């Protein structure tokens, strides 16, 4: 498994991360198998959130590995906070309380990275800054980032927050490419030219913020998986063609498409099937050509200007 450096940090992490949202549905023994398999593949990055399984995903994760200092040193743990029932909350009190809960459930003294989940329209960046400083000084959180935020939202935080924001977790897959579409269709009048994200892809590259694509096999807003889906024959035909050519699976090709982008992204893969994760991890061993990358983009139903 190849590694990348996250943002402006010194963190060397696996090119592919394991998302633990679905871990709440596993038994402790099954979760242990998933985690140990990931580590054996060279995947050392595990993504959590306080809302995943109502906190149960974090609890099962810690119980499954028998969290202690020895195993803790082998992994990078990231979690997210800010989503509450019916509203979003970036208040200082909620951020601090959330981190205490996360650490308790994960049975660890610190998080490597804390992300603010979906944007809070009522955010008071001064409070975020106070929370981050307190968490950093106490050693509870070592690095910080955001999720699903546009450039101006990040700039607002950066005006007050002293710590580097090293990650922006964003939805991106072959079948969900608005941040790429807009960059290809500059000065055009059709739908693909609409800039939904204020050039977030280029902004993150300019500011050395690592993009973590979430739902890399999904189409739409959590509508389902496009890989192997008969509703999308053209993209699946191209995925299969390249998979046979490269000696990997179609899912590995879908991840390789993200890894081929020079932004040095880190896809978050959420499978809880060890065999499937093993197949997906092979994406790190191949590199698509420029032509193959564009062929997949077009097969997904996109058009070039």
Which one of the listed residues 52, 203, 219, 297 is annotated catalytic?
Answer: 52
300 burial (CB, 10 Å; 0-12 / 13-18 / 19+) is buried
Instruction: Detail the DSSP E strand segments found in 117-255.
Output: 141-147, 165-171, 210-214, 218-219, 224-225
Contacts of 287 (CB under 8 A, 6+ apart): 256, 259, 260
d(CA 244, CA 248): 7
- Which position has the token pair 């700039």? 155
- 52 belongs to the catalytic site: yes
Q: By C-alpha distance, which of 223, 222, 225, 220 is closest to 239?
A: 225
- First-to-last alpha carbon distance for the chain, in angstroms, is 36
Contacts of 181 (CB under 8 A, 6+ apart): 192, 193, 302
3-state secondary structure (DSSP) of residue 268: strand
Question: Could you tell me if 109 and 103 are in contact, meaning their C-beta atoms sit under 8 angstroms apart?
Answer: yes
Question: What are the tokens at 42?
Answer: 């060279």
- Catalytic positions, written as ranges: 52
């Amino acid at each position: 498994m190849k590694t990348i450096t996250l943002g402006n940090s010194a963190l060397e992490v696996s090119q592919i991360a394991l998302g633990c949202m679905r871990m709440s549905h596993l038994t402790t023994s099954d979760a242990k198998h998933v985690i140990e398999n990931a580590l054996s593949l060279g995947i050392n990055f595990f993504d959590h959130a306080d809302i995943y399984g109502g906190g149960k995903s974090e609890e099962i994760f810690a119980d499954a590995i028998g969290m202690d200092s020895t195993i803790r040193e082998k992994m990078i743990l990231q979690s997210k906070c800010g989503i509450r029932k019916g509203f979003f909350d970036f208040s200082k009190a909620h951020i601090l309380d959330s981190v205490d809960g996360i650490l308790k459930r994960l049975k660890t003294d610190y998080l490597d990275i804390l992300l603010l989940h979906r944007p809070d329209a009522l955010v008071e960046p001064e409070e975020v800054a106070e929370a981050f400083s307190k968490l950093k000084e106490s050693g509870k959180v070592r690095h910080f980032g955001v999720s699903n935020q546009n450039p101006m939202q990040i700039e607002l935080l950066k005006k007050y927050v002293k710590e580097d924001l090293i990650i922006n977790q964003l939805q991106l897959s072959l079948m969900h490419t608005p941040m790429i579409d807009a960059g290809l269709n500059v000065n055009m009048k059709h739908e693909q030219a609409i800039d939904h994200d204020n050039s977030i892809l280029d902004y993150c590259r300019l500011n050395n913020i690592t993009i973590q694509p979430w739902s890399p096999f999904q189409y739409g807003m959590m509508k389902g998986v496009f890989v192997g889906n008969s509703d999308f024959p053209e993209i699946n035909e191209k995925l299969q063609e390249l998979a046979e050519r490269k000696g990997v699976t179609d899912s590995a090709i879908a991840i390789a498409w993200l890894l081929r982008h020079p932004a040095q992204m880190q896809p978050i893969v959420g499978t809880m099937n060890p065999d499937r994760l093993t197949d997906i991890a092979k994406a790190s061993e191949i590199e698509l050509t420029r032509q193959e990358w564009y062929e997949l983009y077009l097969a997904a139903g996109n058009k070039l200007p």
